[in-house]
A and B are shown apart, each in its own frame.
Chain A
Amino acid sequence: MRILDIFKSPEMTVKLQLNDILQMNDQTRPYGLLLSETQARELIETRNQAILEQGRVELSTDSLQKIIKVFSSSAYISSSDYAPLLNELVEIFYFMKNETHDRISDDELINIMKELFDGPSRGSAELLKHRDLPLWSRMMRGNR
C-alpha cells in the first residue's frame, strides 16, 4: 500500500477539474465559443496525457484555464474547431514547457503561442507546432 497517493480518487479529481473548465464557458461565451461536458472531459484527458508524456506534474488546472482564456479571443477560432484546437494547443503548451527548460513562464509562453498563432501561423496549430514555435525557440536560445 502506498500512503502518499497524491493521485487518489480520480473521479473526484476529474469532477473538480471539469467544474473549472466548464466555468470558463462564462468567459468565452461572448466569442461564441463553448465546450460541452464531453469536450471538457476530453480536454482534461488530453491535458493529463500531455503532462504524463512530458514527465511533468501539475497540481492545478491554472495553465489550461489560461490557454482557454487567451485563445478564445483569436479571430482564427470558430465554434466548430474550438474543442479539437484546444486539445492541440494544450499538447503544444506542455511540449514547449520542456523544450524551453522551464525558462519561460506559463503566461509568457501562452502569450507567445497566441501571438504566433494569430500571426505567422495564421490559425494553424500544425504550423505553430512544427514551424513557428521551433523557429522562435531557436531564436530565443540564440539570444541567451
Chain B
Amino acid sequence: MKNTGIQKYSLMKNTLEPKSYTLFLLREGQRRSILDQKAVDEFQELLMPLLAELILKYTRGESSSVTVETAQRLLGSLLYSTDAYLKSFRHKEAAINCLANSCPAEIYGKGQALISTCLEQTQILYQEIKERKMNIPIRGYHYSIDEDLPDFLNHYDLLFNAQNTMAGIDYPLFSDNMRLQGIFYIEQYLKKLSMETDFCHLFSPADINQLLRDYGRVYRIDIAEALINVFEIIFINSVFSFLAGNQPGDLTISNTQINMLQHYFNAMSPAQYPMVISHTIDKLLNLLGVADPDFINYIEVFVPLFMPRFVNALENKSLANVIIAAQPYQEAVRVALDYGERLSDEAFRKLAEQIRETVEPASKVNVIASNINSLVDFLDVLEADCLFGQDYVLLFDTLGDIELSILAKIAFAEQLRGARVLKLQNLVVAELNIIWQIKLACYFHGLSAKRLDGIEQRLNDILYNP
C-alpha cells in the first residue's frame, strides 16, 4: 500500500467517526494545550495505515475497498483497542501524555494485548459461573448462561469487531453498565453475575424457589418465562425479612409482618427510610459473613434505586408488591393447555381462507371447531382477520370456562397483573387494541355474574407452576 490517500467527502466523514475515548482524549489534549494541532494531525495520519492494513486483513488482501459500514466497523474495532489501552491509565492526563508520546500502532498493539487477556480471563470466569449455576426455574437465566454467553465468547472477534457485544443476553442484572461494549461489557456482566450468584447461594435453594413461585403468584406471571433478576428479589426479601425480626438467611415474610413494617415506617419520617434500610443491610451482611468489598460497592446503588419504589409502595399501602409475602398454600391446578398438533403453514392458510369465505357465522364456528386442535392455531385464527361481528360471540359461546379463562389470561395479562382482585367486569375496553381481545372483553361484559364468577375462579386457579 503506497499511500493512505482518500477523497474528502463530508458524507463519509459524518458516517465514519465512531464514539471513542481516544478521540475524546485528542480533543481534551488540544483543549488543555497538551497536544497541538500538529500532534493531532500526526496521530490521525498514522492511524490511517492501521485502518488500511485492517481492511486488507479483513478482505484477506482480495479487495482494497470495503463498504462504508464495514469501514466504520473496522475503524470502531481499531479505536476500541486504542481506547482499551488508554483507559488503563488511572488519570486522564497520563493517557493524554501517552497519546503525545506514543505512535498509534504501539497503543493499538498494547490495547489488543489487553483485550486478548481480558477475553482469556472472562472465559475462565464464565466457566466458574457455569459450575456454580443456580437451580432456579427461570429459562432466561439458564439460556443466558448456557447459550448466549458461550456464543459470545466463541465468536468474539477482537480484530475486526472488538467493540461489538453481539450477544443478546436476556437475563438482567440488578445493575448493568450498558455503556460498556464488547468483551469489557461481558466481563463486567459476568463479574456482577458472579457476585449476585455468591449472594444467592447463601440461601436455601428450596426457599429461593418458593420465593420465586410466590413472586409469580403476586405478579401473576409465569416466572419460568419472566426476565427478572433473582438476586434483587432475594436481596429485598432477605433484608425486610430480617428487619421484620426473622433470622438472617430467612427469605420468608408473612403478610402480618409486612403490615407491621408498614406501620413501622409510617411512624418515621421518609428522610429516615434510607438510613434504616442501609443500617439493616449492613447488619444483615455482617451476620451473613459477606465482606467482599466489590459486592459492598455493587449494592451501594441499591438504596437510592430502591427508595422511590419503596416510598411509593408505602404511600399506596402496597408494600406487598415490593416485598413478597409467603403465599398461602394452594394446590396448583394444572390446566392441560392443549398444545395439540398444529396445522402446517399451508394447511392453516387454506383453512383461514375457507373461514373467510364462509358467510354464515354458525358455519364458520363449525369449520373452526372441526379443524383446530391446538391453542396456538386457535389464537392464530383469532388474529387472521377472518372473523367479523357476530362470529366472535358465537365462537366464544362454544368455549367452556377453562378455555375462556385461558384466553383471558393470554389477552389481558397486562391488565390483570396489577389487580389485587380479578374482576373481568372491570376490564377497560378502551385500553385494548387487538380486535379479538376487545370482542372478548365485550363478551365478558355481557355474561351473567354467576358465569363470570366461574371463569374468574378458573382464572385464579391457573397457576403456571414450574
Contacts and interface: CB of A to CB of B under 8 A. Distances in A.
- Do A and B pair up? The answer is yes
Interface of A: 1-8, 10, 12-14, 16-17, 20, 48, 51-52, 55-63, 94, 97-98, 102, 105-108
Interface string B25-54: 011001000000000110011011001100
B5 A4 contact: no
Given A4-B44, A13-B8, A57 B65 contact: yes
Contacts of A102: 59, 63, 66-67
Contact of A56 (B8, B20, B23, B67): B67
A58 B55 CA distance: 9
Nearest to A13: B5
Contact of B63 (A12, A17, A97): A97
Query: For B16, B52, B65, B71, which residue has the most chain A Cβ atoms within 10 angstroms?
Result: B65
A63 B17 contact: no
Contact of B5 (A60, A94, A98, A108): A60
B65 A58 contact: yes
A57 B71 contact: yes
Q: Which interface class (under 10, 10 to 19, 20 to 34, 35 or more) fits B? A: 35 or more
Given A4-B16, A17-B3, A59-B51, A106 B9 contact: no
A52 B12 contact: yes
B7 A52 contact: yes
B51 A6 contact: yes
Contact of B8 (A10, A63, A108): A10
B63 A51 contact: no
A19 to B, nearest CB: 9
A15 to B, nearest CB: 8
B68 A94 contact: no
Query: For B8, B30, B41, B68, which residue has the most chain A Cβ atoms within 10 angstroms?
Result: B8
B13 A13 contact: no
Given A16-B3, A107-B62, 18 more contacts: A5-B44, A6-B13, A6-B16, A6-B51, A7-B8, A7-B12, A8-B41, A13-B8, A16-B5, A17-B3, A48-B7, A52-B7, A57-B65, A59-B6, A59-B55, A63-B63, A106-B62, A106-B65
Contact of B16 (A10, A57, A58, A98): A57
Contacts of A12: 5
B334 interface: no
Return the 4 tightest CB-CB contacts between A and B, nearest first: A105-B62, A58-B65, A57-B71, A7-B8
A52 B5 contact: no
A44 to B, nearest CB: 8
B4 interface: yes
A12 B7 CA distance: 10
Interface string B382-399: 000000000000000000
B1 interface: yes
Contacts of B16: 4, 6, 57
A7 B7 contact: yes
Contacts of B48: 6, 59
Contacts of A108: 62
Interface in B342-360: none
Nearest to A94: B65
A57 B67 contact: yes
18 contacts: A1-B27, A4-B23, A4-B44, A4-B47, A5-B44, A7-B12, A8-B8, A8-B45, A16-B2, A16-B5, A17-B5, A48-B7, A52-B9, A52-B12, A57-B67, A59-B6, A60-B2, A105-B62
A108 B60 CA distance: 14
B64 interface: yes
A52 B68 CA distance: 9
A111 to B, nearest CB: 12
Interface in B54-91: 55, 59, 62-71, 75
B3 A10 contact: no
B13 A7 contact: yes
A7 B63 CA distance: 20
A14 B23 CA distance: 26
A60 B8 contact: no
Contacts of B68: 55-57
B267 interface: no
B65 A3 contact: no
A58 B8 contact: no
B11 interface: yes
Nearest to A58: B65
B8 A3 contact: no
Nearest to A56: B65
Contacts of A3: 23, 26-27, 30, 40, 44
Nearest to A11: B8
Nearest to B66: A57
Contacts of B63: 63, 97, 102, 105-106
Contacts of B62: 105-108
Contact of B1 (A8, A56, A59, A98): A59
Nearest to A59: B52
Query: For A6, A16, A20, A48, which residue has the most chain B Cβ atoms within 10 angstroms?
Result: A6
B62 to A, nearest CB: 3
A105 B60 CA distance: 9
Contacts of B52: 59-60
Contacts of B66: 56-58, 102
A102 B67 CA distance: 9
B255 to A, nearest CB: 60
